[in-house]
Structure 1
Amino acid sequence: MAQASGDPMTAATLTTSARDTAEPIAVSIKGLRKSFGGKTVLDGVDLTIRRGEFVVLLGPSGTGKTTLLRLLTGLETPDAGDVLVPGRRTTVYQEPRLIPSKRVLANVIVGQRRSSRNREAGVRALAEVNLEDKARQWPATLSGGEAQRAALARALVREPELLLLDEPFAALDALTRLQMQDLVGDLVARHRPAVLMVTHDVDEAIRLADRVLILDRGRFATDAHLDLARPRDRADPEILRYHTEFLAQLGVAPGTTSPDRL
């Protein structure tokens, strides 16, 4: 595991349900602190994510969600605390970030050694996201959903132990968004990486997550394990209860217009 260290700080340990304890720990954060310009963004954060666990992070803008992702990718360093992450980790962003001058398959295996084995792995990854017929296409010919599926294939071909998702569906239309949620859920169940996903969409969080975290003033105000059957029915009273509770914790009053996009 890769490690970033600082002065450890005391913070409440997050709970882990018994059903999770059989899987190895992929991410371990203890006493994490991060400030910018004298403003504390993360304040003594503790977090454990196990392999195969799909964790979704909610919180209003400016609460440190993206900062936490950047710390896990190594793009930021903590002011204090310990961060242990797997060596194999990758991120899918809101924008697909495909290279326009490379064909789709070349984008999927970009940065990897040229070999028939890597090429075959790229072809398999494209097949998993239903883009096998787009391997020779240019990125400019893809729809938004297709481009994001190519970005997902690029992440999965590296067989990450930790998959970070930074609002990957935010720019998609409603129908494509639902299709991508189903695809990601299926792929994560198949490949079993640890997942940390940032979103502003409460429905999306409940649809995908094994566990929902809510950041508030630099700490986790909520750590909820969602023991719900899949696929999940939005009419399920338990899902409606979570929906209401999460919105309340995010400060959204009942009846607010478009409450799921904070």
Structure 2
Amino acid sequence: MTATDSLLAVSLSGVRKSFGDKTVLDRVDLEIRRGEFVVLLGPSGTGKTTLLRLLLGQERPDDGEILVPRQRTVVYQEPRLVPSKRALSNVVLGQPRTRQVTEDGRRALDEVDLADKHRAWPATLSGGEAQRVALARALVREPELLLLDEPFAALDALTRLRMQDLVGELVARHRPAVLLVTHDVDEAVRLADRVLVLRDGRFTRDLGIDLPRPRDRTDPATLRHRTTLLAELGVRSNPSEESHVRHD
């Protein structure tokens, strides 16, 4: 990126990606600023995962330009821990085993409230604990871009809320640019600075959410954003309902 782009972590211009006769991304433009938390919503099969793979360099666009920082990490729906390595070894996986790296790994585990689990085997961890190890592994590398691919989807409702709070706190502390893919509208409104809706290969909504944190899901402004996003996804909603609504 040029000096004029110093506040940008991600820049996509005219990006197109097709698989056979199906155009998944149709000349999309996207900018994400450093420290900005962006959430991507959309029906299944609309290109959300393809976009993540492009940002990771796992796919190449058919056309257009993608600029991303060199230092980027990803957390998936499954923790993807190595079963034969303890928690700390999973956090520093792939890094040289120096004293500094070990200290950084312990500090990362402490940040996700797992300091006492540094010698635990993955099989002994709960789902939420394993996902926190995966988050520590991503953040210990101090990424400029953090990609989150439905990281809370497999967790129970209470653990999901706690993980959302934890991710929000850690992102505020480390200040990477974030792109979170989710189907959960409530999750999007709870965490995002901006919410994008991807449909038919294009962004159909770019909604800024300028609300103080922590966010009260019963607040009228929160409910308005929720209703707007559900309508964009083709879902009618009763704003007073209490349950989480997902669009799968």
Q: Smaller-chain TM-score range?
A: over 0.9
Q: Deviations over 1:74-110 (max 9, x none)?
A: 1110000000000000000000000000000000000
Q: What does residue 18 of structure 1 align with?
A: none
CA distance in 2, matches of 1:164, 1:138: 25
1:38 aligned to 2:24?
no
- The aligned runs of 1:3-152 (5 Å cut-off) are 24-152=7-135
CA contact (8 A) 2:43 2:247 kept: no
Q: Deviations over 1:153-176 (max 9, x none)?
A: 000000000000000000000000
CA contact (8 A) 2:186 2:245 kept: no
2:147 partner SS: strand
CA contact (8 A) 1:95 1:168 kept: yes
Q: Alpha carbons of 1:242 and 1:23: their partners in 2 closer, same or farther (altered >3 Å)?
A: farther
The CA RMSD measured in Å over matched residues stands at 1.6
What amino acid sits opposite 1:111 in the alignment? Answer: G
1:176 partner SS: helix
1:136 partner SS: coil
Q: Deviations over 1:61-86 (max 9, x none)?
A: 01110100000001110000000000
**Matched positions, count:** 243
Gaps of 5+ in 1: 2-20
Gaps of 5+ in 2: none
Identical aligned pairs, as a percentage? 72
What amino acid sits opposite 1:77 in the alignment? Answer: R
CA distance in 2, matches of 1:218, 1:233: 32
CA contact (8 A) 2:186 2:244 kept: no
CA distance in 2, matches of 1:201, 1:23: 32
Q: What does residue 204 of structure 2 align with?
A: 221
CA distance in 2, matches of 1:116, 1:254: 53
Q: Alpha carbons of 1:194 and 1:66: their partners in 2 closer, same or farther (altered >3 Å)?
A: same
Q: What does residue 14 of structure 1 align with?
A: none
1:249 aligned to 2:232?
yes
Cα shift at 1:22: 11
Could you state the TM-score of these two structures normalised by the residue count of structure 1? 0.90
Q: Deviations over 1:179-227 (max 9, x none)?
A: 0000000000000000000000000000000000000111100001101
1:203 aligned to 2:183?
no
CA contact (8 A) 1:58 1:214 kept: yes
Could you state the TM-score of these two structures normalised by the residue count of structure 2? 0.95
Q: Deviations over 1:18-55 (max 9, x none)?
A: xxx99710000000000001100000100000110000
CA contact (8 A) 1:23 1:52 kept: no
Q: Alpha carbons of 1:237 and 1:23: their partners in 2 closer, same or farther (altered >3 Å)?
A: farther
CA distance in 1, matches of 2:35, 2:237: 34
